[in-house]
Structure 1
Amino acid sequence: MPAPLLKATALQKSYGEQTLFNIPCLEIYEGQRIGLVGENGCGKSTLLQILNGSLAPDHGQIQRRCKIAFLQQEDSLHPFSVHDLDSSARRFLPQGPGKSGGELRRKGIAAVLSQNAPLLFADEPTNNLDLAGITMLEESLLHYRGAVVFVSHDRELLDRVCTSLWALDGGELRIFPGNYSAWAAQRQQERDFAQFEYDQYQKQRNHLIAEARNLRQQAKSMNKAPKRMGNSEARLHKGTVTISQAALQNRAKAIDKRIALLEKKDKPFQAPGIKMGADSKGFVSQTAVRIEHGEVRRGNHLILEDVSFTLPSGSKTVLLGENGAGKTSLAEYLLSGGPGVSLAPGLETGFFTQHHEILDPDLTVLENAQADSCLTEREVRSILANLLLPAKALQKPVHLLSGGERAKTAFARLLASQRGLLILDEPTNHIDFLAAEALEQFLLAWKGTLLLITHDRRLAEKIGQRLLLVEKGHVCTFEGTFSQWQASQKPASNDSLLILIEQMRRAAETPKGRG
């Protein structure tokens, strides 16, 4: 068997009193494509930094037997000049003076991949990428010559790329063969078995408790000697009762010992389920939103013209387009009631933005979630629990929260407000896969009207009943699901990123002064 590219033993890292992880051993071999998953704040980025050598562990040894390339969350620039690249590679780069975060992110990805290191670490590589960029990244990882370990909450990427999965949970690293779906299925089987064991434990324990209680009840209720009984007979009766009572008490004590010897099974965590109180109100109109011949501007610049579409009441529509195409501007235009926009009478709207402006930074998590709520505090707490915000975090001011916690709090505030129209702009950014799954389940069951802006392919496919496509300054409607739309498109060429990577590699290998 070949030696691993990297081996770590007895790896430990803590911050203050909190132990992030304690990993006895991990190994990375040539050709592996490993997805690293876990809840927000569990230590995924820290683990990558330690394995890369940019951060020291508290304890442990790491053997690195090859060159390592590291794509961090904020990498966007690269050390090569555009003039080092040929025209085919330059076409992939940002054009003009403006460079979006997604465009710069593509450039950074290409720079790191072009190093052709035998081992690549990537931390949230899909950050700031649109659908085209994510598809290009996916192809690049699938064709990468070395081993790859990457942190991601993109379930579709994890499914398509991974050969194995590392799950960081409660300070332990568990290793699973296969992709995200295989791991999720195994995780559900383990949860189901843990629930079965807990139910059996409770059933047996309750049966024994009831049996001991009945024996003590029998002992307590034994008849006293009848009044007409003579003294000798009464003494004999009392002795018999005492012996019988002692026997019953001993049997009860023996059962108590059996209860104490039972192997205790802890109750598995189970979210309480989001219950939204009263049934959804009936729609007053078949159309929630109508836009006719609208014009969307960014400042004085016209970015979308002759915009006309409808959002049927109760529909779930996904808004797709490249970075900078005008998706968020279109949502803001709709909400502002710009020329040509009409909403159903009495329709209340809620808007989830990428920067969570809906939140008051000085209020606590619970206060923010209740601010516009039509629900009881118990129902609001249920929503927060489903989004994996623990009870101890509910009294924390929002300005002290992480990005993922702020996103979850903003979701909770919107969900609790029960608005008739929700517009969600990249709702799965910054949150872990468990919270994304909880949000997905709510949106599937929700009866209101939804406009969803997302680059999360799994979420788009599961939620979207129809699409709005923003392209080249226009908006068109596609009546069908995300996968149906993909099937209708001509296969897109992803050669541009691969060309850019190759050109960057050649530029790095060309001696200075040559040309």
Structure 2
Amino acid sequence: MLLNALNVKKEYGIQTVLDIEKLEIRDGDRIGLIGRNGAGKSTLLGVLSGRIACDEGVVKRYCPIAEILQTGETEDEPEARLLSQLKLRDSAVKSGGEKTRRAIGAAFSSQAPLLFADEPTTNLDMEGVELLEKMMKGYRGAILMISHDRTLLDRVCNQIWELDKGNIRVFDGNYSDWAAQKERERGFQEFEYQQYQKEKKRLERTTDALQRKSQTMTKPPKRMGSSEWMLYKGVAAVQQGHVQSNKTAVMSRLEHLEKKERPDELPQVSMKLPDAGKIRAKNAAAIRHLTVSYGERIVLDNVSLEIEAGRRTFITGNNGAGKSTLIKALIDRAPETFITSEARVAYFSQDLDTLDPKKTVLENVSEDAAYPQHICRAVLSNLYMTKDDMFKPVSVLSGGEKVKTALAKVLVSGCNFMILDEPTNHMDVYTMEGLEHLLESYDGTLLAISHDRTFISHTGDVVCRLEHGDIQKSAEQ
């Protein structure tokens, strides 16, 4: 036993963030902690490590714990052998990716029996993520990590903890095992809900029918004289008593019918994006012999690329390779670039500069939408934005919620050429799957930058890698 926790509670104001009866971490556990944005995953890691005090309960730690924080901050230095492996430089100014790599190196150098990692793929390029995966697979201690990288969760984890409404459910297996189990549960819950609704309506109809029958028994049937009615009235009273008794029994069954709620883990509205209209030209866009330099550093060196209409092209590459620079040149219509006149372009940028902080989520999404407001609401719902979220001003949103809002603006714009720069940053796994489902139904052209291997695999047709200033089509899926 490396750690156990009993009756842990943590509240912020009137909100209960954690209410967990029991948790255990044992030697050999490789645990992936998942949950919606804002569910309290980082808080749980802080409570278990001792950085954050819990309001109630006990956490017992039986070994040292190494941590990789989401901020990338660390006071420790990696071992010399890891400096070159992680491609770390001695520099006063460090990028986000370099901070994360340094924090990873320091944590692994400690060789602690238990490692906590809070979104360790933050700011890492694909090369960094693959290196992290290799290091985790070879780690001798137990691991508890928060991550939205489904490939990492699949390849490293043997257990999934799902944090929902303050409680933890423990699932054996990796992310795919968890997803399959949840799908089976959703199917069963949906079946139970439909059966409940069917039985409820049947009992309500039966009650109404018995009520009407009881009421007709207080009046003489047509063609029955008053003297006959006087003779029949006693018989009718007995029959009415039986009907009332049946009605009472049915109402009792209805009252005691076990209520089944509709599964709340699926988006409220299942939908497909409306037809965007296909581009008839062979290529939606092209880049010809593009060179970009920053001072003496050549970022893009005579790069050429064709974006075939109707395809889903992904650009990958290490941090600083020039991926966003390439996209920006296309958006800014640099002389070396071409976009067909048939294209209606919508662009998702990492700086989220399309959002008006004073307006609500729904106002931001609806103001330039090509579709009615009910489509805007449905898209937001599929990105796991609640009705309450839709009426929040953008200024109070979390980073993940702002990303969802900006993406929804693009998705309802009516564009037939969608350009996305790292759209899955700050997303939880649920929202990523919601976005994938929406993009599956998109019939336009997609150009995207991403480091997320599962997202690329599920969504992309063509994968191009940008490296050393040049771009190569590395795969066609």
Deviation at 1:170, TM superposition (A): 1.5
Measured against aligned partners, the alpha-carbon deviations of 1:122-159 in whole angstroms (never above 9, x if no partner) come to 10000000111001101111111111111111100000
Q: Which residue of 1 aligns with 2:461?
A: 465
Query: 1:285–1:230: structure 2 CA closer, same or farther, 3 Å change rule?
Result: closer
Partner of 2:58: 61
| Aligned-partner Cα distance in 1 for 2:442–2:390 | 24
8 Å contact 1:298–1:329 — kept in the other structure? no
Partners of 2:244 and 2:151 lie apart in 1 by: 61
Q: Kindly state the Cα deviation for residue 89 of structure 1 after the two structures are TM-superposed.
A: 3.0
With over 3 angstroms needed to count, the CA separation of the structure-2 counterparts of 1:452 and 1:227, relative to structure 1, is closer
CA offsets 1:392-440 (integer angstroms, 9 cap, x no match): 1111111110111111111111111121211111111111100000001
Contact kept, 8 Å, 1:76 with 1:109, in 2: the verdict is no
- 2:42 corresponds, among 33, 39, 45, to 45
The alpha carbon displacement at 1:222 in A equals 4.6
Q: Choose from 193, 208, 223 the match for 2:203.
A: 208
Aligned residue among 220, 227, 230 for 1:235 = 230
Say which SS state the counterpart of residue 181 (structure 1) adopts. helix
Residues 428-443 of structure 1: matches in 2 within 5 Å?
A: 428-443=424-439
1:298-377 → structure 2 map (5 Å cutoff): 298=294, 301-377=297-373
Give yes or no for the alignment of 1:152 onto 2:147.
yes
1:76 positional shift: 4.5
Partner in structure 1 of residue 102 of structure 2: 107
Secondary structure (helix, strand or coil) at the match of 2:447 reads strand
Once residues 98 and 230 of structure 1 are traced to their aligned partners in structure 2, the CA distance between those partners, rounded to angstroms, is: 104
| Residues 78 and 480 of structure 1: CA distance in aligned 2, closer, same or farther (over 3 Å) | farther
Rounded to whole Å, the distance in 1 between the matches of 2:81 and 2:128 is 20
Aligned length: 475
1:60 alignment partner AA: G
TM-score computed with the length of structure 1 as normaliser:
0.88
> How far apart, in 2, do the equivalents of 1:343 and 1:89 lie?
42
Measured after TM superposition, the shift of residue 86 of structure 1 is: 6.5
Do structure 1's residue 30 and structure 2's residue 27 form an aligned pair?
yes
Aligned partner of 1:260 among 255, 260, 284: 255
Aligned counterpart for 1:276 among listed residues 258, 273, 276: 273
Deviations 1:97-145 (A, max 9, x none): 8643212321221011101111111100000001110011011111111
1:479-490 to 2 correspondence within 5 Å? 479-481=475-477
Aligned twin of 2:137: 142
Q: Which moved more, 1:449-458 or 1:210-219?
A: 210-219
The 10-residue stretch of structure 1 (289-298 or 94-103) with the greater mean CA deviation from structure 2: 94-103
Q: Distance in 1 between matches of 2:334 and 2:212?
A: 76
Paired amino acid for 1:371: E
Post-superposition shift, 1:284? 3.5
Work out whether 1:11 is the aligned partner of 2:8: yes
Mapped pair 1:123 → 2:99: no
Residues 496-507 of structure 1 mapped to structure 2, 5 A cutoff: none
The separation in 2 between residues aligned to 1:479 and 1:9, in whole angstroms, is 49
Aligned partners of 1:147 and 1:344: how far apart in 2? 53
**SS of residue paired to 1:114:** helix
> Which one-letter code corresponds to 2:318 in the other structure?
E
Following the alignment from structure 1 to structure 2, what is the Cα–Cα distance between the partners of residues 20 and 97? 38
In the alignment, is residue 70 of structure 1 matched against residue 67 of structure 2?
Answer: yes
2:13 aligned partner, one-letter code: G
Give the whole-Å Cα distance in 2 for the aligned partners of 1:91 and 1:275. 42
Partner SS state of residue 178, structure 2:
helix
Q: Relative to 1, partners in 2 of residues 1:59 and 1:234: Cα closer, same or farther, differing over 3 Å? A: same
What are the ranges of 5 or more consecutive residues in structure 2 without an aligned counterpart?
none
Which one scores higher on RCO, CA 8 angstroms, separation ≥ 6? Answer: 1
Query: Contact (CA 8 Å) 2:278, 2:310: kept in 1 or not?
Result: no
> What secondary structure is seen at the aligned counterpart in 2 of 1:409?
helix
Q: Distance in 2 between matches of 1:31 and 1:227?
A: 83
**2:317 alignment partner AA:** G
Q: 1:37-94 CA distances to partner (integer Å, 9 max, x unpaired)?
A: 100011100000011111100100111111111111012455449xx83698388213
Tell me the distance in 2 between the aligned counterparts of 1:392 and 1:266. Answer: 20
- For the 8 Å contact 1:366–1:395, the answer to whether it is kept is yes
Cα distance in 2 for residues equivalent to 1:86 and 1:223 = 95
State the secondary structure of the residue aligned to 1:40: coil
Alignment partners' CA distance in 1, 2:81 and 2:273:
57
Q: Distance in 1 between matches of 2:259 and 2:221?
A: 46
2:370 match: secondary structure: coil
Query: What is the identity, as a one-letter code, of the residue corresponding to 1:466?
Result: V
Between stretches 149-158 and 67-76, larger displacement belongs to: 67-76
Q: Residues 432 and 250 from structure 1, CA distance in 2 versus in 1: closer, same or farther, beyond 3 angstroms?
A: same
Matched, 1:427 2:440: no
Q: Quick one: distance in 1 between partners of 2:332 and 2:393?
A: 30
Which of 163, 170, 173 is residue 165 of structure 2 equivalent to? Answer: 170
Instruction: Provide the rounded CA distance (Å) in 2 between the counterparts of 1:202 and 1:289.
Output: 51
Task: Give the Cα–Cα distance (whole angstroms) in 2 for the partners of residues 394 and 363 of structure 1.
Answer: 10
Q: Tell me the alpha carbon deviations over residues 435-474 of structure 1, each in whole angstroms, 9 at most, x when there is no partner.
A: 0000011112211111111110001111111122111111
Contact 2:77 2:102 in 1 (8 A): no
Letter in 2 for 1:236: L
2:413 to 407, 417, 427: 417
Could you say if the C-alpha distance between residues 95 and 248 of structure 1 is closer, same or farther in structure 2, counting changes exceeding 3 Å? same
CA distance in 2, matches of 1:117, 1:337: 52
Structure 1 contact 368–413 (Cα < 8 Å) conserved: yes
Q: CA RMSD in A?
A: 2.1
Quick check: 1:321–1:327 contact (8 Å CA) kept in 2? yes
Q: Percent of pairs identical after alignment?
A: 41
Q: Distance in 1 between matches of 2:110 and 2:475?
A: 43
Any conservation in 1 of the 2:3–2:62 contact (CA below 8 Å)?
A: yes
- Asked whether the 8 Å contact 1:166–1:174 carries over to 2, the reply is yes
1:98–1:68 CA distance, 2 compared to 1 (3 A) = closer
Give the alignment's TM-score, normalised by structure 2. 0.95
**Matched residue SS, 2:163:** strand
**Matched residues in 1 for 2:74 and 2:229: separation?**
99
One-letter amino acid of the counterpart of residue 456, structure 1: D
Q: Is the 8 A contact 1:273 1:383 kept in 2?
A: no
Q: Contact 2:77 / 2:105 at 8 angstroms: preserved in 1?
A: no
Change in Cα spacing, 1:25 to 1:200, as seen in structure 2 (3 Å) is same
